[in-house]
Amino acid sequence: MRLHLLFRELLIVCAMAKKPSLFEKYSHIDFDALQKNMDDFFGSDYVEDARIPPVLGRSLKENNEILSKIGQMTVEWSEIESWIDQSIWRILDVTDNLGACITAQYIGPGPRCRALLSLCHLSGIDQEVIDDLKEFKQEAQRIGENRNRFNHDRWIEIINMKTKESKIVRNQIRPEVPHQQAQIEVAVQDAEKWVREAKLLKDIFVICIFPRLISSLLQKRVQK
């Protein structure tokens, strides 16, 4: 009984000595109020500039239309990659689980398209389908750059504290030589255009390429 009580006390001491998590440590902070104070502080001497320090910007609000476009782009792109995966699995004639062990290792549509094109050549898929796949790969690379900017650039709402006007910019960093960094203003219409292109690319693959690829594949297997 005495040992049980000692063990219980030890557990209580350990619980009290537990280091708080990062979220617990700052749970008392009113971040919205601090953001407002920061806005007021910097707004007193705010001057419009081509390069706005990030501290003068704020994250996009939940109801911002740009956020929904970022989400749509993410969904369309994941569907594109999924359909390419499906094509690879069908040519390999394996279960989805086995096929996913391979395609899950690919990052982006580039490696997927290269693998699919190689498999199409080896499987004797119609040349017209292969030609369309080559063009699809090129367009995927072009639109994929827009998708990368959507997902990896930092999005900031810049607010002019004097006029209260705001604009949405994405902080684009290109590590190439020479190094480039720019804040590019983005309108909702620009974001919509990128999403439409991604959706059209997906539709072309799903409706115009994939069925012909499967049809050609089945014909080759019947002939064997």
Alpha-carbon distance of 205 to 207, in angstroms, equals: 6
Checking if the pLDDT of 46 tops 70, the result is: no
Is residue 74 domain-resident?
Answer: yes
Nearest to 202 by CA among 105, 82, 93: 82
Is residue 158 domain-resident?
Answer: no
* Model pLDDT for residues 116-156, shown as the tens digit of each residue: 999 999 999 999 999 999 999 999 999 998 898 888 888 88
More confident residue, 183 or 140: 140
* Model pLDDT for residues 90-113, shown as the tens digit of each residue: 999 999 999 999 999 999 999 999
* Model pLDDT for residues 18-44, shown as the tens digit of each residue: 677 878 777 888 877 776 666 665 554
How many domains in the chain? 1
Q: What is the pLDDT of residue 83?
A: 96
Is residue 38 domain-resident?
Answer: no
Bridge partners of 135? none
Is residue 210 domain-resident?
Answer: yes
Range of the domain at 216: 65-150+189-223
Average pLDDT of the segment spanning 7-23: 65
Is residue 180 domain-resident?
Answer: no
Is residue 213 domain-resident?
Answer: yes
Average pLDDT of the segment spanning 51-58: 56
